Amino acid sequence: MITKNDINYLIDLSVKAGKAILDIYNSEDFGVEIKSDNSPLTKADKASNEIIEKGLKKLFPDIPILSEEGKEIPFEERKDWEKFWLVDPLDGTKEFIKRNGEFTVNIALIENNIPAFGVIYVPVTGEIYYGGPNYGSWKDNHQVFVSKKTPQDELSVVQSRSHSGEEESEFYSNYKIKESLSKGSSLKICLVAEGKAEIYFRSGPTWEWDTGAGHAILLGAGGYFVNKDRSELVYNKEVIKNFGFIVSAFEIQ
């Protein structure tokens, strides 16, 4: 179990990483590179990752770390991990480059391939989300819960700033949509966790570190997070990708 002191340490660590990101965000040079998968990488990703990895190793030396910026760990080496940190030091790099403020620091603890605890920090606003299935979930020290609406109600849905398409539209056509909200990064998951929306459907692939922290927080708030075929979404797979998912306030049939 994570203690109260551990939680405070993780929050402080994410804030420290967020400050390093903001220093670069407010500068003239992001140092943008393009990675092999065509996604962008900035100096802020690297600075945040260094702070988080150093901080986690200091307090939790026996727990391994799987990070977006250190992902080349062979499956043979990690397949027997019972517990590990899953880190996205800067989730929403495209949003960072666009300077729209919708990017986050994500730290998740995965136990037996399931998210146990997560922290999401929003550097531009200073908002912090944290929690997990055995802890409840919180935003800025106020407990959050998913919406109590049912699939038959008029719903608010979340759509990606950078990724949306035909399959998403088809999925949402099964519901009465009152409004559609757009956000970048893991903030989309947070909208459902705090009851501001009921469903977020993602048709395309994501990496495990994109969802780990949000997944934990959503579970702590009473929500559901499954693959788009309705099967359980688990972590530390041989290929560390998710191939579409559904985030919701209620169970999807």
Question: What tokens does 75 get?
Answer: 């499956």
pLDDT band at 182 (very low <50, low <70, confident <90, very high): confident
Tell me, what's the pLDDT at 94? 81
Range with lowest mean pLDDT among 42-46, 68-72, 86-90, 155-159 = 68-72
pLDDT band at 31 (very low <50, low <70, confident <90, very high): low
CA proximity to 135, closest of 10, 56, 213, 221: 221
CA proximity to 246, closest of 209, 207, 215, 208: 215
pLDDT tens column, 55-77 = 999 999 999 999 987 777 999 99
CATH of 154-248, one of 3.30.70.1230, 3.30.1700.10, 3.40.190.80, 3.40.47.10: 3.40.190.80
- Neighbouring CB atoms inside 10 A of 54's CB total 11
pLDDT over 80 at 88, yes or no = yes
For the domain covering 4-144, report its CATH number.
3.30.540.10
Tell me, what's the pLDDT at 185? 85
Q: What is the mean pLDDT of residues 162-170?
A: 75
How, if at all, do strands 142-144 and 127-132 pair?
unpaired
CA dist., res. 98 & res. 119, Å (int)? 24
Q: What is the DSSP letter of 68?
A: G
Tell me, what's the pLDDT at 37? 59
Tell me, what's the pLDDT at 83? 97
Between vectors from CA 137 to CA 5 and to CA 123, what angle results, nearest 5°?
Answer: 75
pLDDT over 70 at 39, yes or no = no
The residue extents of the domains of the chain are 4-144, 154-248
Tell me, what's the pLDDT at 163? 56
What's the pTM? 0.93
Tell me, what's the pLDDT at 33? 62
Tell me, what's the pLDDT at 70? 73
Tell me, what's the pLDDT at 162? 56
Tell me, what's the pLDDT at 161? 57
CA dist., res. 219 & res. 193, Å (int)? 8
CA dist., res. 196 & res. 168, Å (int)? 19
CA proximity to 146, closest of 226, 253, 218, 230: 218
pLDDT over 80 at 160, yes or no = no
Tell me, what's the pLDDT at 142? 97
43-47 — which CB contacts under 8 Å span 24+ positions? 44/20, 44/90, 44/96, 45/69, 45/89, 45/90, 45/93, 46/89, 47/17, 47/20, 47/21, 47/23
pLDDT tens column, 102-140 = 899 999 999 999 999 999 999 999 999 999 999 999 999
pLDDT band at 32 (very low <50, low <70, confident <90, very high): low
Q: Which helix (H) or strand (E) holds 93?
A: helix 93-98
